[in-house]
Amino acid sequence: MRIRVLMAMSAVLSLTLLFPASVEQAFAQRGGDTLHIEINQGIIDPMPIAIADFIGQSPDEIQKGQTLAQVVTNNLRNSGLFRPIDPRAFIERPNDFQALPRFVDWRLIDAEALLTGQVVLQDDGRLRIEFRLWDVLREQQLIGLQYFTTPENWRRVAHLVSDAIYERLTGETGYFDTRIVYIHESGPANLRRKRLAIMDQDGANPTYLTDGRDLVLTPRFSPTAQEITYLAYQNNKPRVYLLNIETAQQEIVGDFPGMTFAPRFSPDGKKIIMSFERDGNSDIYVMDLARRRSTRLTRHPAIDTGATYSPDGRRLTFESDRSQFQQIYVMNADGTDVKRISFGDGRYGTPVWSPRGDLIAFTKHRQGRFYIGVMRPDGSGERLLTESFLDEGPTWSPNGRVLMFFRQSGDTFKLWSVDLTGYNLRQIPTQGDASDPAWSPLIK
């Protein structure tokens, strides 16, 4: 008995003596020779980047090299995250793509990154465009790629180069190699002609997709980028259509007895969600494109419309006036668990789920002013990014960092884009009036 007690006591004692030693060691290691300093404040200025004209030998190559550099410059500047340095400040003029830049010269003009490139028109008639992105401070190449393409496709390569730079320096996927489909408007107010048009995200290469005989509204891209769904009034009857951009083939999505509108693709491109109105009541339906079968998702005497999917396809957001005024709601993709998420002062509409899934963009109307804003899917963190007499119809860039929308000022409608931070509001150049933009995914 005594022996047992003694053993137990010795065990307890040895534990108490040993354990502190290990604790001691653990704490002793916490120290170290290095001085620890946490930095949680910095600057949000755009990064200064030097973009040299792409090197070429023949006059044609030289000319292409200059315009390529210009397109890349505009893309990066418009993103708001980069500040291209005026080429007139350059000390070195790169003339050999294989030579290392004189980094000292680039540091002197405060460049943190440098882009050098080369354009070669090959014997086989193809254009070879190659570039290197340099970290000027570390004197390292960050990325170097080359592209082969037909000479007339140089502009797309400029967008691809911009995307590669954007991704390497910010970590985000780029959005420059994308297109915008929108409604081109012309003519007097009482005889407005609305045509479906498509252009590069920077406003270049505008092309009309419809002839303007029918009124078209709310175009939306398919995730495959080859198809657009939109609303058109044919014979004064509104219908949801599907248009293949490459083949220009057009078809009606389901022939319902009432009116269908506000269509949008599901993230996998296999379904279209839209509103169906009959006897003054509109509800949300989803149609399986392969089987052409539609399912009703909401059943409420109020107006439910403007539905979009979350990127994972499991949730939906839509607008409804079931609580007297127009507000934003979310629900499961099968129509269950409906929750209102907008509770601010004013009316909320046109909700669009971000491709990253973290935010929902919307249009807000309060006291005669319109705003484009974002909030989290649970309704928290509402932020208003723009304000004007009429801002409407936000659409997300594929990386979820930029919103495009249309703005009315006076009698004109123009497309505008704004960064998620609310800085960097800019107008997109279009010929004539433009409204209802829809941003494509990255072109594959």
Partner 1 sequence: MRFGFFISLLFHGVILMFAVVTLPNAWRADDELTILPVDLLSIDEITNVAAKVEKKPPELEEIAELKPKPVTAQKEQQAPPPPKVIAPAKDALPPLPDPKKKPEKKPEPKAEERTEVTQLAKAKPRKKPSPPTPKRQEKDFNLDQIAALLDKKEKEDPKPQPKQEDPLDDFLNSLEVDEAPRQATGLGTGLTMSELDAIRQHIRTCWRVPAGAANPEELVVDIRIQLNKDGTLTTPPQVTKTGASSFNRNSFSQAAADAAVRAVQRCQPYDFLPTDKYERWNDITFTFNPAPMIGR
Here the tokens at position 306 are: 């403007």
Q: Which of 96, 288, 378, 387 binds partner 1 (CB under 8 A)?
A: 96
- Site track for partner 1 across 157-176, x = CB under 8 A: ----------xxxxxxx---
Q: Specify whether the CB–CB gap between 353 and 309 falls below 8 A.
A: yes
Site for partner 1 in 119-148 (CB under 8 A): 130, 132, 135, 137-146
Site for partner 1 in 370-389 (CB under 8 A): none
Q: What are phi and psi of 280, to 5 degrees?
A: 80, 5
Nearest to 374 by CA among 366, 362, 386, 364: 362
Shortest distance, CB of residue 124 to partner 1, whole angstroms? 17
- Site track for partner 1 across 329-358, x = CB under 8 A: ---------------------------xxx
First and final CA of the chain: distance in angstroms? 82
Can you tell me the distance from the alpha carbon of 395 to that of 354, in angstroms, rounded to the nearest whole number? 9
- Site track for partner 1 across 15-44, x = CB under 8 A: xx--xx--xx--x--xxxxxxxxxxxxxxx
Binding segment for partner 1 (CB under 8 A), chosen from 58-66, 93-101, 252-260, 367-375, is 93-101
Nearer Cβ to partner 1, position 38 or 123? 38
Residues in the chain: 444
CA angle centred on 168, ends 164 and 169, rounded to 5°: 120
Q: Which helix (H) or strand (E) holds 16?
A: helix 2-28
Can you tell me the distance from the alpha carbon of 69 to that of 119, in angstroms, rounded to the nearest whole number? 11
Q: How many residues bind partner 1 (CB under 8 A)?
A: 65
Q: Which helix (H) or strand (E) holds 373?
A: strand 369-375
- Residues 6+ away with beta carbon under 8 Å from 423: 80
Nearer Cβ to partner 1, position 51 or 284? 51
- Residues 6+ away with beta carbon under 8 Å from 175: 163, 166, 201, 397, 398, 399, 401, 402, 439, 442
57 is an interface residue for partner 1 by CB under 8 A? no
Nearer Cβ to partner 1, position 132 or 179? 132
Give residue for tokens 């951009």.
245
Nearer Cβ to partner 1, position 138 or 314? 138
Q: Which of 71, 73, 85, 112 binds partner 1 (CB under 8 A)?
A: 112
Give residue for tokens 């609303």.
231
Nearer Cβ to partner 1, position 30 or 444? 30
Can you tell me the distance from the alpha carbon of 385 to that of 8, in angstroms, rounded to the nearest whole number? 70
3 is an interface residue for partner 1 by CB under 8 A? no
302 is an interface residue for partner 1 by CB under 8 A? no
Q: Specify whether the CB–CB gap between 68 and 161 falls below 8 A.
A: yes
Shortest distance, CB of residue 5 to partner 1, whole angstroms? 7
- Site track for partner 1 across 73-92, x = CB under 8 A: --------x---------x-
Shortest distance, CB of residue 304 to partner 1, whole angstroms? 30
Chain residues in the site for partner 1 (CB under 8 A): 1, 5, 8-9, 12, 15-16, 19-20, 23-24, 27, 30-45, 47, 81, 91, 96, 98-100, 102-105, 112, 130, 132, 135, 137-146, 167-173, 356-358, 401, 420
